[in-house]
Amino acid sequence: MDLHETLFHRHPGNPVLTASNWPYPVNSVFNAGAIRLADGKTLLLCRVEDRSGLSHFCTARSKNGVDGWEIDGKPTLVPDPNHFPEDLWGIEDPRITYVPELDSYIIAFTSYSRSGPGVSLAQTKDFHSFERYGMVMPPEDKDAALLPHRIGGNWALIHRPMSPLGAHMWISYSPDLRHWGSHRVILRARRGGWWDANKIGLAPPPIETPRGWLMLYHGVRHTPAGCLYRLGLALFDLEKPETCLLRSDTWIFGPEAPYEREGDVGNVVFPCGHTTDDDGDSLNLYYGAADTSIALARGKISHLLSWLEKHGKPDPNLP
Ligand code: BMA
């Protein structure tokens, strides 16, 4: 198992969804939340940008998670600035968590407000009607997902507030999903020339494994030619998810294919969702490619874990 081993394999049918698949006029579809429904279908909650430049969400469902997508004929969840002023410039990048205690899905997403992006939550059982909680993390904050069950009696939300000293990943806790506190940094952006220097953020929701919470995170490298968005791996303690056990020094997936290299924002791979097959190990990672289309890459949770055990290190950047 070498350091540069391919952990995620691109689907040959990529990209699996583009604007040309849409039943109404749109500019781009990307950064989709993903979940497997009780009937086994894959549901993607896609970020859709129209020619206003603002984004909304639209669901696409498929039996095999690859093709045959049934796409809602109209937007599924739209910005609602009359009730939620933070939606003024659209809603972006949904991450979906199924929460057994609520028998519902909780969607964490970005509301693009006049003061910048913040984190909003919504609850749904069917992806037709949604109960909104409003903005739970004020600007600038994004890249959030809820853990699927309480930790020590409280809900836990991972998110990425911006600070002048770096964009690091944090965790916050809440008794009721509305009031949040006990904020802690869980993963820091590195400094200098690293692939994940200065700005990192959660990719899809963390995966619960017997070894810990397995997390994919994106690192943003600023170059004279623009940004490069790549993915790394980290593992966190199951009972104390603010404790990072292992972190990769290298990225494991980055823009290589033409549809990742070129688009509205080239050199971006940006996963917001994954599903797991019936074997409990095969992982389907859905990612926005170049802010233009949705692509699929497949890997195995066991493989990611053993690679991280071999090549990961305790995080030297904490506390
Ligand atoms: C990030 C987010 C993503 C986007 C990425 C690349 O900051 O806004 O929605 O895919 O930039 O443009």
Ligand 1 neighbourhood includes 173 CB (under 6 angstroms):
no
> What's the average model confidence in pLDDT over 141-160?
98
Best residue among 89, 217, 272, 291 to mutate for probing ligand 1, ranked by most atoms within 8 Å of CB: 291
Q: Distance from the CA of 307 to the center of ligand 1, in angstroms? A: 27
E strands in 138-268? 141-146, 155-161, 169-174, 181-187, 200-202, 207-209, 212-223, 226-236, 244-247
What confidence score (pLDDT) does residue 30 get? 98
> What's the average model confidence in pLDDT over 69-87?
98
Q: In terms of DSSP bridges, do strands 293-300 and 91-99 run parallel, antiparallel, or are they unpaired?
A: unpaired
Whose CA is closest to 203, among 136, 158, 164?
Answer: 158
What confidence score (pLDDT) does residue 318 get? 63
What confidence score (pLDDT) does residue 315 get? 83
For residue 207 the two structure tokens come to 């995966």
> What's the average model confidence in pLDDT over 110-136?
98
Indicate the helix (H) or strand (E) that contains 30.
strand 28-36
Best residue among 160, 260, 270, 287 to mutate for probing ligand 1, ranked by most atoms within 8 Å of CB: 270
> What's the average model confidence in pLDDT over 115-136?
98
Encode pLDDT of 212-268 as tens digits. 999 999 999 999 999 999 999 999 999 999 999 999 999 999 999 999 999 999 999
Best residue among 160, 220, 265 to mutate for probing ligand 1, ranked by most atoms within 8 Å of CB: 265
- DSSP class of residue 86 equals G
Classified as helix, coil or strand, 319 is: coil
Encode pLDDT of 26-77 as tens digits. 999 999 999 999 999 999 999 999 999 999 999 999 999 999 999 999 999 9
Whose CA is closest to 247, among 213, 274, 282?
Answer: 213
Ligand 1 neighbourhood includes 161 CB (under 6 angstroms):
no
Cα–Cα distance between 37 and 126 in angstroms, integer?
9
- Break the chain into its structural domains and give their ranges: 28-311
Cα–Cα distance between 5 and 311 in angstroms, integer?
11
Q: Are 57 and 47 in contact (CB under 8 A)?
A: yes
The CATH T-level fold of domain 28-311 is Tachylectin-2; Chain A (2.115.10)
E strands in 37-174? 42-49, 55-62, 70-71, 91-99, 104-113, 116-124, 130-137, 141-146, 155-161, 169-174
- DSSP class of residue 19 equals G
Cα–Cα distance between 238 and 254 in angstroms, integer?
27
**CA nearest ligand 1 atom 2, residue:** 93
Q: Are 29 and 18 in contact (CB under 8 A)?
A: yes
